[in-house]
Each structure stands twice: as C-alpha cells, then as structure tokens.
Amino acid sequence: MHRTLTLAAACLALVVIVAGAYVRLSDAGLGCPDWPGCYGKPTPAHAASEIARAVAEQGGEHGSVSFAKAWKEMGHRYLAGVLGILIAWLFILSWRPGGGSGWRRIVASCLLLAVLFQAALGMWTVTLLLKPAIVTAHLLGGLTVFSLLVWFHVSERDWRPAPESRTLRFPALAGLLAVCVQITLGGWVSANYAALACPDFPLCRGAVVPAMAFSDSFHVFRELGQTAGGELLPLDALTAIHWVHRAFALFVLLLFAWVLYRAFASPLRRLALGVAGLLIAQLSLGMFTVLLGLPLPVAAAHNLGATLLLGSLVVLNFFAFSGLEPTPTSRSVKVVPTVSGPK
C-alpha cells in the first residue's frame, strides 16, 4: 500500500510541477487573484460575472485575467489539492498502529509539513503578486515534495546489497547539490521573466561576457520587474540573471564528467549514465528554449526535464548512501510437495 501510494503521489507531484510551470509560462498566475477560490467562488464558472468585469476593466482578454487563464490557475490548484490528500493519507497510514518503522513516520511527517508550507507559498504567490522570491520558493517547495516522495518510494522496495556503491557517495551528493543550485537559478530566471534576456546561443547578446548589472539582479526582497528601490529593472540585470544560469550549467556539465568517471567502476554506473543522459537532454532543451524564442511546449519540457533530473539524482544518492544497487532481491519461494494418497 505504501509503495503504491508513494508512486501515485510522486507521479502526481510531477504533473503538478509541470502544470505550475505551464501556468506561469502562459502568464496565468494571476488568473484568479485570490486564494483558494476564484473571486471567492469554487470554480471560474461560478465566478463568471466577476471575471467578465475584470476582463472589461483591463480592456480585453489580452491581460493577466481571462476565463482561460482562470481555468488554468484553478486546474493547477485542484491537482495540488488532490496531491495534498494523497500525502495526508500516506501520513495517516504511516502513523497508524503497525504502519511501519520510525523512519517511515519521519519521512511522512516531513512530507505533510512540506505540502502544507507549499500551500502557503501558493497563496502568497498570488496575494503578493508574483514576487520573484515567493515564486522561486514555490517551485523549490514543489521539487522538495517530489524528491521526498521519490526517496520514500525507492526505500519501500527490497534491493540487493552492494557495499561498493558507497564509493559514489561524495560524487552523487556533489551532483545533487549542483543540480539543486542550477534549478534554483533556473527558477529565478523564470520568476523574473529573464528567459530571453540572452536571445542568442552560445553567446549572450553577441558576447561571451555581455554588459551586466548584478546589484539588483539577485536582490531577493523586491517586486516583480523592479529594483530594490522600486525602479524598473534594467535589461542588464535580467541579462545577469540569465548569464549566471548558463555559466553554472557549464560547471554542472564538467562536474558530471567527473561523476561518470567515478561511477564507471561502481555498481551504479548504469544509473549514473541515465542521469547523464537526462542532463544532456535538459541542456539541449535549455538551448532550444532560447533559439526558438521560448515556445511554451519546449519551456514546459525544460521544467519537466529539471524535475526528472532531480528525481534521478535523488535515486542515485539513495543507492550510494544505503550501499545497495538497483536490482530487486529475489524472494525465495517455498515449495510444498504434494502428498498423494494410496492408490
């Protein structure tokens, strides 16, 4: 039951993360400007008159409010609500008598706390008008929930012991931390709408190191599109945000060359090769996102790739730190001979 539930919740968490990226990329984050309902109603259909009034006030459906954007925003909230219910169910199963070990209860409790905090971040994302720090934290919260679910699911299975896997602990952890930093930088790019600040590739605005302004680009406590002083955020600041994300991607690529070298002689080499494949796919998606001018499907796939890459590194770290290999143990089957009676 735990294994099935954690798998279902992890798959749904993946859908919720990608759906959230789709909502953000399609500029539907304020399709319903309140929380948890839409103009105080359970669905956009019930708030049709309020939405129509807001559309008329902004001069048409080209702005942040429209019926389609309201449904996108609420659809994401409904999916997140179902995920919260699954995690609450997992928490109850883990804490009931005979529900499992203390470790299982700790992970289930962390999951419940994480999803509750994630709900609060979702509310603040809307009520604080897409402040970049809150939007980025909301993304990281969703990825944290997904990572915990992946770890929980993998730990529920019986794997073959492989003490040699522990030799990959430091490389696996270094790779995980590097990808976490890179995802945070990518979330900051997306939250500040800086994906096209460098519209060319591999150069950035025609230079290896373009003109950049770092004073306001990574200032956390500011409004969307503004400096800390309330002025319009300059293009050079957006360029700095985008350029740092690209530069760190090169570092991650070099780091994983070392991780693969270390993994070659370990029982986790195939898993590490799979991680490397996801990394190459993710870098390619990032390149095409820029070269094709931020098409919505490619940009959403870039978010999907980041989530899958993170999940694969969580799995790699699980096996490296537990001294196991990704091969299920064969369960012995007791054969009971049949006794034939006298003929």
What whole-number distance in Å separates Cα of residue 23 and Cα of residue 93?
33
Q: Which two tokens stand for residue 115?
A: 């999803």
CB 145 within 8 A of CB 111: yes
Give the contacts of 310 (CB within 8 A, at least 6 positions apart).
Answer: 143, 146, 147, 176, 179, 180, 183
132 C-beta neighbours (distance < 10 Å), count: 26
Q: Which two tokens stand for residue 272?
A: 């590490």
Is 57 part of the annotated catalytic residue set?
Answer: no
Measured between alpha carbons, how far is residue 156 from residues 4, 11, 95 in Å? Answer: 10, 16, 16
Measured between alpha carbons, how far is residue 305 from residues 236, 267, 279, 287 in Å? Answer: 28, 25, 8, 13
Running DSSP on this structure, what letter comes out for residue 332? P
251 C-beta neighbours (distance < 10 Å), count: 12
**What are residue 139's phi and psi, to 5 degrees?**
-65, -45
The amino acid present at 21, given as its one-letter code, is A
* Residue with token string 């370990």: 266
In angstroms, how far is CA 11 from the centroid of its own chain?
12
Burial of 135 (0-12, 13-18, 19+ CB in 10 A): buried
12 C-beta neighbours (distance < 10 Å), count: 19
Exactly one of 73, 156, 223, 325 is catalytic; name it.
Answer: 73
Which are the catalytic amino acids? 73
